[in-house]
Structure 1
Amino acid sequence: MNTLLSYKSALTHPVFNIIQEAAAELNLECYVIGGFVRDHLLQRDSKKDIDIVAIGSGIDLALAVSKRIKNQPKVQVFKNYGTAMLRYDDIDVEFVGARKESYHFESRNPVVEDGTLEDDQKRRDFTINALALSLNKENFGDLIDPFDGVKDLNNKIIRTPLDPDITYSDDPLRMMRAIRFASQLDFEIEKDSLEAITRNHERISIISGERIVDELNKIILSKTPSLGFIHLYKTGLLDILLPELTALNQVEEIEGHSHKNNFYHSLEVLDNISKNTENLWLRWAALLHDIGKAPTKRFQKKQGWTFHGHEFVGGKMVKKIFTRLHMPLNQKMKYVQKIVTLSSRPIVLSQEEATDSAVRRLVFDAGEDVEDLMTLCEADITTKNPNKFKKYHNNFKNVRKKIVEVEARDHVRKFQPPVTGEEIMELFQLPPSREIGTLKEAIKEAILEGVIPNEYQAAYDFMLEKAKKMGLTPPLK
C-alpha cells in the first residue's frame, strides 16, 4: 500500500468543511478518526458513517454543525456517553469529546474523563482504528498516527495501542472485534495480542449476547468466515459461544473405522456457501447444519459410524442456540431450523433415482426455500476426489432439473388444498373435527404421491370416494 496517499483526498465531502468552520467558531480542535480513515488508507469502500472527535464538547460541535446545514438535520444527543449524532447526505456523523477511560473488572462500561487527542487514541481498540486526520484549518488533512497504525496496515497486522491484556480485559468485546477485523480484512492478529485473547477469553462472559452476535454475524458475512472461526476456536472463545460446534471437533477410530472431522467440515461448507450467497441466515444454517452429529454419533459393527436423525436433533438445537445468544426467535430462526432439518434430504435424492413423489415432498416441505436448501447441499460437497466432486454436482443438477419439472406440473411449492376444509364441512354439514382433518390430509397425500393431479375436480372426486369409505355421505337436500 502506498503510504504517500494525499490524505486531503479523503476529506472532499462538504461535511468536513462544515465541521471545520463550526469547530473554528467554537474554538475547538477536531479530527476524523477510526474506520473512515482506515478504510481510506486501505482504498476500501468506506461504510456510510464518520466518527469525529473534538477536544472539548462533541455535543456542542454537533449542534453547531447542524445549524450550518440546510434544513438543519436533527441531532440525537446521548448525554450519558457525551456523544451526539446527525445524518447528512445519507451519512451518519457521530461526534464525541476526546476522553480517557478506566474500567471496573466486572463491567465493560468505562469511567470517562475529558482528555486529549492522544488519550482518545490510546483508548481505541487497535492501532489501525486509532488513525486520525486533522480537520483544523492550519493542518487540514494531516495524519496523526502515534502507534504506527499505517505500518500495521501495510503489514496486515491487528495490534492494540496499549498492553493487549489491559485492552482485552477492560473491554472483552474487543477480542471478538480483533478476530472479526482479521476475518474481514484477511489480516493477522499480532502474536502478543492473540496470546492475550487466549488468556482473557473467559472475560467474554460479561458481554451481552446481542453484542456477541453482532460480531459473529460480521464474521459469518466475511469473505472467508473460517478464518475468524478458527481464531475463535484456538483462543477458547468458541467453546464459550458455540460449544455445540466445538463438540464436532473430534475424530474417533474403532476397529479401523473412523469418521471425518465434522467441525472443520462445517467451516469448509460455510466457506463454500459464502461464495454463492450473502444471505446471513443461510450462512448460519451452513455453519450449524451438522451440529446434531455430536449427540447422535454411534458405532455399530456392521455399519460403522452412524449419525441417525442428526438433522432433526440439529434443528431442535438451533432454537436453544438462538435463545442463549439472544438471537431473533422469529421467522429467521424458523428458516435456519428448516434448512438444518432438511439438509440431508436432497443428498439422499441425489444418490438414487429421484422419484416424482420424493421430489414433490421435498418441494412441499421446503416451499419457497427449496433453492436455498439446494445451495447448501451443493456447498456440502467437500470431497477432494475430483471424480466424486464432479459426479455429486451432476447428481444435484439432475435433482434441480427434476424440481423444475415437478413444480411446473404439480404446483406444490405454495401448496393450497384444491378442496378446502370449509368446503368439506359445508358439504357434509360437519363442524371442525377429526374427520375433516383426515380428509384434508388424504387429499394432500394423494397429490404428493401422484395418485391424483393437483387439480380441483380430481381432488373433489377423490375426497368423495375417501369420505364414502369412512362412512360419510352428504345429507340429502
Structure 2
Amino acid sequence: MRDISDAQLAKLLDKDIFHHISDSADKLGLECYVVGGYVRDLFLERPSNDIDVVVVGSGIQVASELKAMLGKRAHLSVFRNFGTAQVKYKNTEVEFVGARKESYSHDSRKPIVEDGTLEDDQNRRDFTINALAVCLNKDHFGELVDPFGGVDDLWDGIIRTPLDPDVTFSDDPLRMLRCVRFATQLNFFIEDETFEALERNAERIKIISGERIEEELNKIMMTPTPSKGFIELYRCGLLQLILPELVALDVVETKNGRAHKNNFYHTLEVLDNICKHTDNLWLRWAALLHDIGKAKCKRWDPAVGWTFHNHNFVGAKMVPGIFRRLKLPMDSKMKYVQKQVDLHMRPIVIADEEVTDSAVRRLMNDAGDDIDDLMTLCEADITSKNAIRKQHFLDNFRTVREKLKDLKERDYKRLLQPCVDGNEIMEMFNLQPSREVGVLKHTLKDAVLDNKVANEREPLLNLLRDKAKEMGLI
C-alpha cells in the first residue's frame, strides 16, 4: 500500500492509452473517469490489466471515438443492450460504460438502469475500495474522487459498502460472495456492520445462479489462504447454503472420554497446505472435498473409538452431485477430483505399513498420470499435532516417492496391463462378456501387479488355463 497524490496518479496514468481516452472524451465534451479495481490496485501496488472507464454520458460514444483515433490497431465491441463497449488495443482491454443509477426488484439481481452522474455511479459500487475514480479529462487529469473514504479503508484493510449494506446485498446478493472474496484475496477484514448485513441477507444468495457462485468460489480457492474465505462464509451463514456437506464436518463428538478431530477445520488446514505447493485449482478442490464423506461414515467402535471407514469411497460418490449443484465442470476435471478423493487414503495406508513394491505398483496403476498430485494431496493431509507420528508419515511418504521414482525409471507402468486381453480370453474359452471374463482378467492383472508372473504370453496363458480349470470352464 502506498500513499499517492493526484500529481503522482497523473504520472502513473501517463500512458498512451489513457491519453487517447482523454482526447476522445474531451473531443466529445464528456466527463471520463477510470474507476474500480484498476485504481484500487494502483494504491495496493498490484498489477492490473482490467481498465474500467465511466463516462458521464455515452460510454459507447467515447469507445467509438477511441477506436476511430487508434485505427486498425484497435478492435471495438459494442454491447448496446447493456450500454457498454470494449476496446482492445495491443495487450490492453478497456471497458466503457455510461454513468448510471440503479434500482432493483426483490426477486432479481438485474437492475433497472437510468443515466446518472458520477456520484450516482459511485453510489451503486459494491465496496468503498472499488468506488475510487480518477479523472481522465485533460483539465483534471489524475484527480482522485473518493467520496466514501475508500483510500482510508485500503490503509486500514477494511471491506465495507459505500451505502447501507443491507440494501447493497439485498439488491445484488452476489456482492456477499464478492465481499468475502475480496477480504480473502486482499487479506482484509470485513467491517462489523457490513458483516452483520451478510448474516441478515445470507438467504438472498438463493437467487444467484450456480455459475456466478462457482466463479466466486474458484477465485477464493485460488488465493494463498482460502481457509480465510471459507471461515468467513461459514460465520455469516453463506456456506451452510452453498456447501452444507462441508459444514456437516464441523462436529466433534466425545464418547467414553474419546473424541475425534474436527474434520471441518482439518479440511481447511489441508486446503491451505496444498496451496503452498500447487496452483492446480482442481487439486485444491480435491483437498476441500477429500474428507467430505466422513459425516456419513462416522461410527463408534468400543474397541478402537471413532471410525470413518470407507469415507473416501463415499466422498468420491458425493463429488458429482456437488459439482453438478455448484455448476462446476462435469468433465475430466470432476473425474480427476473424484479420483483424488477416492484414492487419498491409499498412500497413507501404504505409508503406515511396510512400503512394498507390490502396493506401490497397484497405487501407480490406479492413479495413473495423477500419481504425483495424489502424493502431494496426501502429504498435505498430514496435520497431526503429534510430531513423532507426523515425522513417521513424512519419512514413509518419502520412501513411497522413492519407490515410485524407481518404478517409473524401470518402466513398470508399461508392464502393468497384462498382454493377454479380454477379447482373447473370450475366444479361448468360448465366452460372452460376463462375470467369468472379469474374474479371469483380474487374476492376470493381480498376478502381474504382485510380480508373481512375468508379463509374458506363455506364463500368463498357463496361469489362465489353471484358473479356468478351477472355475470349471475347461
Q: Which TM class, normalised by the smaller chain length? A: over 0.9
Structure 1 segment 446-457 matched on structure 2, within 5 A:
446-455=447-456
Question: Are the structure 2 counterparts of residues 132 and 427 from structure 1 closer, same or farther at C-alpha, using a change threshold of 3 Å?
Answer: same
1:125 equivalent in structure 2: 126
Find the aligned partners of 2:52 and 2:460 in 1 and give their Cα distance.
64
Give the secondary-structure state (helix, strand or coil) at the position aligned to 2:448. Answer: helix
- 1:343 offset after TM fit, Å? 1.1
Fraction of identical pairs, as percent: 58
CA contact (8 A) 1:367 1:413 kept: no
Question: Are the structure 2 counterparts of residues 257 and 472 from structure 1 closer, same or farther at C-alpha, using a change threshold of 3 Å?
Answer: closer
Find the aligned partners of 2:405 and 2:238 in 1 and give their Cα distance.
44
Find the aligned partners of 1:465 and 1:62 in 2 and give their Cα distance.
79
Structure 1 segment 230-269 matched on structure 2, within 5 A:
230-269=231-270
Gaps of 5+ in 1: none
Give the secondary-structure state (helix, strand or coil) at the position aligned to 1:395. Answer: helix
2:3 equivalent in structure 1: 3
Find the aligned partners of 1:426 and 1:299 in 2 and give their Cα distance.
50
Find the aligned partners of 2:56 and 2:307 in 1 and give their Cα distance.
64
Q: Choose 103-112 or 71-80, whichever is displaced more.
A: 71-80
Question: Are the structure 2 counterparts of residues 305 and 166 from structure 1 closer, same or farther at C-alpha, using a change threshold of 3 Å?
Answer: same
CA contact (8 A) 2:249 2:294 kept: yes
1:15 equivalent in structure 2: 17
Q: Choose 355-364 or 340-349, whichever is displaced more.
A: 355-364
Q: Counterpart of 2:298 in structure 1: which amino acid?
A: K
2:57 equivalent in structure 1: 56
Question: Are the structure 2 counterparts of residues 415 and 8 from structure 1 closer, same or farther at C-alpha, using a change threshold of 3 Å?
Answer: farther
Question: Are the structure 2 counterparts of residues 131 and 413 from structure 1 closer, same or farther at C-alpha, using a change threshold of 3 Å?
Answer: farther
- 1:439 offset after TM fit, Å? 4.0
- 1:350 offset after TM fit, Å? 0.6
- 1:20 offset after TM fit, Å? 1.2
Q: Choose 159-168 or 434-443, whichever is displaced more.
A: 434-443
Q: Counterpart of 1:13 in structure 2: which amino acid?
A: K
Structure 1 segment 272-351 matched on structure 2, within 5 A:
272-351=273-352
- 1:12 offset after TM fit, Å? 3.4
Q: TM-score of the superposition, structure 2-length normalised?
A: 0.94
1:30 equivalent in structure 2: 32
1:41 equivalent in structure 2: 43
Give the secondary-structure state (helix, strand or coil) at the position aligned to 1:444. Answer: helix
Q: Choose 297-306 or 7-16, whichever is displaced more.
A: 7-16
1:166 equivalent in structure 2: 167
CA contact (8 A) 1:367 1:414 kept: no
Question: Are the structure 2 counterparts of residues 386 and 470 from structure 1 closer, same or farther at C-alpha, using a change threshold of 3 Å?
Answer: closer
Give the secondary-structure state (helix, strand or coil) at the position aligned to 1:69. Answer: helix
1:411 equivalent in structure 2: 412
CA contact (8 A) 1:363 1:370 kept: yes
- 1:468 offset after TM fit, Å? 6.5
Q: Does 1:86 align with 2:87?
A: yes
Question: Are the structure 2 counterparts of residues 309 and 117 from structure 1 closer, same or farther at C-alpha, using a change threshold of 3 Å?
Answer: same
Structure 1 segment 381-396 matched on structure 2, within 5 A:
381-396=382-397
1:186 equivalent in structure 2: 187
CA contact (8 A) 2:355 2:396 kept: no
Find the aligned partners of 1:433 and 1:314 in 2 and give their Cα distance.
29
CA contact (8 A) 2:73 2:90 kept: no
Question: Are the structure 2 counterparts of residues 415 and 115 from structure 1 closer, same or farther at C-alpha, using a change threshold of 3 Å?
Answer: farther
Find the aligned partners of 1:459 and 1:320 in 2 and give their Cα distance.
41
Gaps of 5+ in 2: none
Q: How many residues align?
A: 472
Could you give the per-residue CA deviations for residues 93-113 of structure 1, whole angstroms, max 9, x where no partner exists? 111000000111111110000
Could you give the per-residue CA deviations for residues 132-183 of structure 1, whole angstroms, max 9, x where no partner exists? 1111010111111111111110111101110111111111111110100110
Question: Are the structure 2 counterparts of residues 431 and 316 from structure 1 closer, same or farther at C-alpha, using a change threshold of 3 Å?
Answer: closer
Q: Counterpart of 2:451 in structure 1: which amino acid?
A: G
1:103 equivalent in structure 2: 104
Q: TM-score of the superposition, structure 1-length normalised?
A: 0.93
Question: Are the structure 2 counterparts of residues 260 and 96 from structure 1 closer, same or farther at C-alpha, using a change threshold of 3 Å?
Answer: same
Find the aligned partners of 1:247 and 1:37 in 2 and give their Cα distance.
40
Q: Counterpart of 1:193 in structure 2: which amino acid?
A: T
Could you give the per-residue CA deviations for residues 427-446 of structure 1, whole angstroms, max 9, x where no partner exists? 77877666655443332221
Question: Are the structure 2 counterparts of residues 465 and 63 from structure 1 closer, same or farther at C-alpha, using a change threshold of 3 Å?
Answer: farther
CA contact (8 A) 2:417 2:445 kept: no
Question: Are the structure 2 counterparts of residues 12 and 417 from structure 1 closer, same or farther at C-alpha, using a change threshold of 3 Å?
Answer: farther
Find the aligned partners of 1:471 and 1:408 in 2 and give their Cα distance.
41
Q: Choose 449-458 or 176-185, whichever is displaced more.
A: 449-458
Q: Choose 401-410 or 388-397, whichever is displaced more.
A: 401-410
Give the secondary-structure state (helix, strand or coil) at the position aligned to 2:413. Answer: coil
Question: Are the structure 2 counterparts of residues 426 and 293 from structure 1 closer, same or farther at C-alpha, using a change threshold of 3 Å?
Answer: closer
- 1:424 offset after TM fit, Å? 5.2
CA contact (8 A) 1:411 1:454 kept: no
Could you give the per-residue CA deviations for residues 257-286 of structure 1, whole angstroms, max 9, x where no partner exists? 110000001001001111001111100110
CA contact (8 A) 1:226 1:270 kept: yes
Could you give the per-residue CA deviations for residues 218-260 of structure 1, whole angstroms, max 9, x where no partner exists? 1111011111111000000000000000001011111111100
Q: Counterpart of 1:112 in structure 2: which amino acid?
A: V
CA contact (8 A) 1:290 1:314 kept: yes
Find the aligned partners of 2:434 and 2:170 in 1 and give their Cα distance.
62
Give the secondary-structure state (helix, strand or coil) at the position aligned to 2:306. Answer: strand
- 1:451 offset after TM fit, Å? 1.3
Q: Counterpart of 2:43 in structure 1: which amino acid?
A: L
CA contact (8 A) 2:31 2:56 kept: yes
CA contact (8 A) 2:286 2:337 kept: yes
Question: Are the structure 2 counterparts of residues 284 and 413 from structure 1 closer, same or farther at C-alpha, using a change threshold of 3 Å?
Answer: farther
- 1:467 offset after TM fit, Å? 5.6
Question: Are the structure 2 counterparts of residues 66 and 463 from structure 1 closer, same or farther at C-alpha, using a change threshold of 3 Å?
Answer: farther
Q: Choose 437-446 or 411-420, whichever is displaced more.
A: 411-420
